[in-house]
Structure 1
Amino acid sequence: MRRREFITLVGGAAASWPFGTEAQQSDRVKRVGVLFARAQNDGQVHAQVYEQEMQKLGWSKDHNVRFDYRWAAGDPERISTFAKEVVDARPDVIVGHTTAAVAALLRETRTIPIVFIGVTDPIGSGFVTSLSRPGGNLTGFVDLEPSLGSKWVELLKQMVPNLTRLGCIFNPATAVGGGSYYMSSVESAASSLGVQAVATPAHNAEEIERVLTSLAGDPAAGLVVMPDIFNGVHRTLIISTANHLRVPAVYAFRFFATGGGLASYGIDLTDLFRRGAVYTDRVLRGALAADLPVQLPTKFELVINLKTAKELGLEVPPSLVARADEVIE
């Protein structure tokens, strides 16, 4: 396995401020409520990164700050329930991960400051009025933007030159825009490459298997696994079924490819959590969320799983391998 990092500026660089060696002390421990839409075993590594960055900024766990976590494991009902619990605890600041979690938090409070991490379309979702001046009680870090859909199509086409049929899997109940957010760029790129892209929604494990079975046996078929908390929760099933049925699939996040998926292209999630800690620190020190600009992603990663490609009988172009940030062999 090998890896190198590269940085692509999509817009706006993370703001930086001078920090003291210790966070400002008060006569009480500050409280940070954290709502993850993911399961704890999926999100623990990013929670640790976030806490480590907070410590660098002067916040020592259980000394001058306390973190109260809720893990919803992709369940919309649990997201709503936990959002209420987080708000009812009246923390000094709330950290919300994913669009679904932030939407639930905003239904419960418009006063407690919220730092979001991994929201896809904060303006379209009605969370903020603008990226530069978000207004309201929240700000944070965008994870993806719709033009990435074309990158996933192009990536798959390079690995499957005879690709003519493309399924796009998502859960309308949890995907941004009900799944429509990425489809226009996917369809546009697919059309230019002579590929027919079709939305293939799935609401449960049985429907995931049905979608993949419908693509199996067609050597010109492939799959784009849309960024969606539902797909993240069911990634083991999606990856194992796609590989078993020999359906080439591309993903939006690195953990899919390292978990056995063919390839991924998307943001560096770890970087977002580090930057999220910076904004949490700013709010705890007295900054208003409304005055902190929403930040766009600055780090993207291409991961190629050559082991999976070999099992699927695919020849990955050397030029694509050379561009990859991580190659799994």
Structure 2
Amino acid sequence: MRLSFLAPKPKESNKKEIRMDRRTILAGATALAAALLASQGVTHAQQLRKPFRVGALFNGAAVVEGKPNPVLEGLRHGLAQLGYVEGADVIFDARFAEGVLERLPELAVELVGKGVDVIVSYGGPATNAARKATTTVPIVASIVADPVAIGVAATLERPGGNITGATNNDPELPSRQFDILKSLIPRLERVAILSDSDIPGVDANGLAPIERANVTAARAAGLIPQLLKVRGPKPDLEAAFDAMYSDRAQALVALEVPAPLAERKRVAALATERRLPTMFWGGAEDSGGLLSYGTSVSANFPRLPAIIDRIFKGAKPADTPFEVVSRRQLAINLRTARELGLTIPPDLLKRADRVIE
């Protein structure tokens, strides 16, 4: 009697089991990796996404005092601190007008053409150029004294368009600056106000919002204002000071706008040479001017990376409030006071946050 057996095929069965095990292992590994990434706030889509491209638009120069623009370096550092690795997670495209503000519109169009995910604009003219170049690419603006007044935002709380950012907007600043000057120069009657010809938001009288605010505040303080506008990148400051002399100006307020900002040391030197006390914006004590008061524009810069991060994660500029940074500081330069033959009142010295001997 012959018995026949249907023997199993162990090798084939083992292959199936091995395949099944591999699938199980791979699925488990994938799930574990996803869980780990999720715990770090990183989605699978983000891992596969191409790097974010950040466009940066500047009124000024790529190199400042022989070094790469420190504001751009600060932006890079800020995003790195938030975990963005340059080249892998984020790529920067920067454009610099080098003080020739007429170049800003074409530079803004270039950035949009590069397919940037966000434009970071520094200054009112740069922000205005970016706004005209795109209504869809998110714009994060800085160094814009009054975003609402120049039409960048409907309100600071709800900008309503494709622009948000940070501002040192301070409606009380002009009045406070003139009060300080009057405490220093009791018989002050005539004050010069130095501005820039190319800032946006000019009204029918030729005044931009920051100029209007200062002229109005000067008049409210009982002073006669003389508004002078210069144009970069090589402003004719000598002509402006000649006009101040002709109009018998007793003090000068330099506005935080492109030309005076870029030429602040020259402005201070010419004013001291002509024995004209100066008031600069907050944080401008490096100018060598007599006084600086207000919030330094650089106080806004550390806030920008966090705003950009929120936009990368899906926030809409229209619903993202402008952050208002206000840290008024008074600096007094006693060296300049001595050159001008001025004695700083003790009460004013007590108010100073910084006294330069």
TM interval, shorter chain, is 0.7 to 0.9
Secondary structure of 2:228's counterpart equals: strand
Work out the number of aligned pairs and report it. Answer: 309
In 1, are the aligned partners of 2:59 and 2:126 still within 8 Å (CA)?
yes
Match of 1:248 among 265, 271, 277: 277
- How much does 1:189 deviate? 4.3
Unpaired stretches in structure 1, ≥5 consecutive residues: 1-19
Q: Does 1:199 align with 2:227?
A: yes
Instruction: Write the distance in 1 (CA, Å) between the matches of 2:345 and 2:57.
Output: 41
- How much does 1:160 deviate? 2.2
In 2, are the aligned partners of 1:113 and 1:137 still within 8 Å (CA)?
yes
Q: Which residue of 1 aligns with 2:89?
A: 64
Match of 2:338 among 304, 307, 310: 310
- How much does 1:123 deviate? 2.0
Between 184-193 and 32-41, report the one with greater CA deviation.
Answer: 184-193
Q: Which residue of 2 aligns with 1:164?
A: 189
Unpaired stretches in structure 2, ≥5 consecutive residues: 1-38
Q: 1:175 to 1:68 in 2, by over 3 A?
A: same
Q: Which residue of 1 aligns with 2:143?
A: 118
Q: Which residue of 2 aligns with 1:209?
A: 238
Q: Which residue of 1 aligns with 2:168?
A: 143
Partner letter of residue 233 of structure 1? A
- How much does 1:119 deviate? 1.4
Q: Which residue of 2 aligns with 1:227?
A: 256
Q: 1:131 to 1:249 in 2, by over 3 A?
A: same
Q: Which residue of 2 aligns with 1:285?
A: 313
**Deviation sequence 1:203-231 (CA, Å, 0-9, x none):** 36564212213434998711111221121
Secondary structure of 2:69's counterpart equals: helix
- How much does 1:63 deviate? 3.2
Q: Which residue of 1 aligns with 2:60?
A: 38
Instruction: Write the distance in 2 (CA, Å) between the matches of 1:36 and 1:169.
Output: 21
**Deviation sequence 1:152-195 (CA, Å, 0-9, x none):** 21222222223221111112322653544244543454345543
Instruction: Write the distance in 1 (CA, Å) between the matches of 2:344 and 2:102.
Output: 42
- How much does 1:58 deviate? 1.2
Name the TM-score, length of structure 2 as normaliser.
0.78
- How much does 1:267 deviate? 1.6
In 1, are the aligned partners of 2:128 and 2:200 still within 8 Å (CA)?
no
Q: Superposition pairs for residues 48-87 of structure 1, below 5 Å?
A: 48-87=73-112
Instruction: Write the distance in 2 (CA, Å) between the matches of 1:304 and 1:41.
Output: 29
Secondary structure of 1:90's counterpart equals: coil
- How much does 1:237 deviate? 2.4
In 1, are the aligned partners of 2:188 and 2:223 still within 8 Å (CA)?
yes
In 2, are the aligned partners of 1:200 and 1:211 still within 8 Å (CA)?
yes
Partner letter of residue 51 of structure 1? R
- Give the greater-gyration-radius structure (CA): 2
Name the TM-score, length of structure 1 as normaliser.
0.84
**Deviation sequence 1:3-47 (CA, Å, 0-9, x none):** xxxxxxxxxxxxxxxxx9787643322111000112234582222
Secondary structure of 1:119's counterpart equals: coil
**Deviation sequence 1:238-286 (CA, Å, 0-9, x none):** 122111111111111423x212111111223232111111101111122
Q: Which residue of 1 aligns with 2:16?
A: none
Secondary structure of 1:170's counterpart equals: strand
Among the aligned pairs, what percent are the same residue?
32
Instruction: Write the distance in 2 (CA, Å) between the matches of 1:264 and 1:283.
Output: 34
Secondary structure of 2:115's counterpart equals: coil
Q: Superposition pairs for residues 74-113 of structure 1, below 5 Å?
A: 74-113=99-138
Secondary structure of 1:254's counterpart equals: coil
Instruction: Write the distance in 1 (CA, Å) between the matches of 2:169 and 2:246.
Output: 32
Q: Does 1:26 align with 2:47?
A: yes
Partner letter of residue 286 of structure 2? T
**Deviation sequence 1:88-120 (CA, Å, 0-9, x none):** 111111101111111111111111111111212
Secondary structure of 2:198's counterpart equals: coil
In 2, are the aligned partners of 1:21 and 1:58 still within 8 Å (CA)?
no
Instruction: Write the distance in 2 (CA, Å) between the matches of 1:21 and 1:163.
Output: 61
Instruction: Write the distance in 2 (CA, Å) between the matches of 1:174 and 1:91.
Output: 25
Partner letter of residue 290 of structure 2? L
Instruction: Write the distance in 2 (CA, Å) between the matches of 1:41 and 1:306.
Output: 31
Instruction: Write the distance in 2 (CA, Å) between the matches of 1:219 and 1:124.
Output: 31
